Amino acid sequence: QFCSTTSGHKMVVPLYTPMDPPPFCSTNMSSTVHNDTLFLLSGFQEGNEESTVAASCMSGGVFGDVEQSGNIPSNRIGAAVAAVGDAMFLYGGEGLDMETMGDLYEGEIKGNTIEWVKRDIEDAIDEDTPKPKAESGEGGDAVPAPAPVASRKSKPMWPSGGRKFAAACPALCKGDTVKFFVCGGDGSDSALKTHCLLFDPGSKKWADAKCSGKSPFPLVKHSLVVVNNCGVVFGGKNPVTGELNGSVSVIDFSTMSWSSPKIGGGVSPKARFSHSATVMSNPFPVMLPNFSVASVKSAGSSAVGDGAEGDEGTNPPVAAKKQSGPKGIWGEGEEE
């Protein structure tokens, strides 16, 4: 658990309480939170090759099934998933044949139901592009105008090559517009650089996230959570060198700038990848086999699941101390 206190930032190991596992047990699942409901999507199940993604949700400490309809995404692992407003976005991932995927799905969330729509570049044709005028033919008959040629000028950007094992979250950007933010991943040249993406749910357009500062990328299988309009990245693995990442990086979405907070003490988790993390304000702790989630009353709690190489989550449980912190990414006077 990453906490901000009067003496700076520190790591603590929160208390966990065992509970029933979710309706399905998968590896490389994607998770996101919508209105204090935790959604788990996709993932690999041994002996199960369903054609569409599996989905489950947890609300009030109880797991349940998610009813899906519409154009349900195909089954995959390592997809970038995030709830933006009342919509669920799922991008990329690795298919059953280990192919890198680059498709984007938007789902309307209504309770424990999701109605999916597949998005593509045709949904985001740039309406500002001047349209060719019709010309007059022989005899004064009108000749239909030629169709506009698809190009970077006439159509907005659409990520090429796809990404797998990236991370995503909602980002409140300039102009008070909440967008779908994707960072890291593998499977294309752009994903191996310090290269992040933004998708605007309103205009249905992708854009390069022009970030400043030193980012932690390239990384795959890292976690990303949002705390007070800052994205907190932990863990992951360098897809080029194989080196594990044990540091914390923060991006301020109001300025799109990266920074590395100084961890002043506490129990730091080991470097790891393929873990999961989320932020919830519900006053109950949770622990699942190989999938750990914790939360306290403060909205400023973020839990990191165990998934370190050679680490089976044997850190002894110690109580997370409640302290009043200065105004920072958790706000003023909040408990951690």
Q: For the residues 91-98, what does the mean pLDDT come to?
A: 89
Residue-wise pLDDT for 176-220, tens only, equals 999 999 999 988 655 555 689 999 999 999 999 999 999 999 999
Dihedral sign (CA 190, 173, 79, 122)? negative
Percent of the chain at pLDDT > 90 equals: 37
With 0-12 CB in 10 A as exposed, 13-18 as middle and 19+ as buried, what is 167?
buried
Between 208 and 131, the more confident residue is 208
What is the rounded distance in angstroms from the CA atom of residue 24 to the CA atom of residue 219? 28
Q: Choose among 214, 272, 215: nearest CA to 246.
A: 272
The answer to whether the CB of 169 falls within 8 A of the CB of 184 is: no
DSSP conformation class of 190: G
Between 220 and 155, the more confident residue is 220
User: What pLDDT score was predicted for residue 201?
Assistant: 94
Please give the C-alpha separations between residue 249 and each of 37, 78, 105, 217, 238, in angstroms, as whole numbers: 26, 21, 28, 10, 15
The answer to whether the CB of 95 falls within 8 A of the CB of 76 is: yes
CA 65 to chain centroid, in Å, comes to 21
User: What pLDDT score was predicted for residue 169?
Assistant: 95
Of 121-125, 157-161, 318-322, the range with the highest mean pLDDT is 157-161
What is the rounded distance in angstroms from the CA atom of residue 82 to the CA atom of residue 93? 13
Q: Quick one: pLDDT band at residue 258, thresholds 50, 70, 90?
A: very high
DSSP conformation class of 28: S
Question: Has residue 148 got a pLDDT over 80?
Answer: no
Question: Has residue 142 got a pLDDT over 60?
Answer: no
Residue-wise pLDDT for 99-117, tens only, equals 999 999 999 999 889 999 9
Q: For the residues 225-240, what does the mean pLDDT come to?
A: 92
CA 296 to chain centroid, in Å, comes to 21
Instruction: Match 């970038």 to its residue by tokens.
Output: 80
What is the rounded distance in angstroms from the CA atom of residue 8 to the CA atom of residue 4? 6
Strand order in the sheet with 223-227: 223-227, 230-234, 248-252, 257-259
Please give the C-alpha separations between residue 77 and each of 218, 219, 242, 290, 328, in angstroms, as whole numbers: 19, 16, 19, 16, 35
What is the rounded distance in angstroms from the CA atom of residue 300 to the CA atom of residue 280? 8
The answer to whether the CB of 63 falls within 8 A of the CB of 43 is: no
Average pLDDT, the chain: 73
Q: How many CB atoms lie within 10 A of CB 235?
A: 29
Q: Are strands 67-70 and 113-119 parallel, antiparallel or unpaired?
A: parallel
Give CA torsion, residues 284, 331, 225, 248, to 10 deg: -110
Percent of the chain at pLDDT > 70 equals: 61
Between 92 and 27, the more confident residue is 92
DSSP-assigned beta bridge partners for residue 286: 293
User: What pLDDT score was predicted for residue 335?
Assistant: 37
Q: Choose among 235, 230, 201: nearest CA to 217.
A: 235
CA distance between the termini of the chain: 9
Q: For the residues 303-310, what does the mean pLDDT come to?
A: 43
Q: Are strands 263-266 and 8-11 parallel, antiparallel or unpaired?
A: parallel
User: What pLDDT score was predicted for residue 160?
Assistant: 77
User: What pLDDT score was predicted for residue 20?
Assistant: 52
Question: Has residue 37 got a pLDDT over 50?
Answer: yes
State residue 140 phi and psi, 5-degree precision. Answer: 85, 5
Q: What's the predicted TM-score (pTM) here?
A: 0.71
Least confident of 7-11, 88-92, 98-102: 7-11
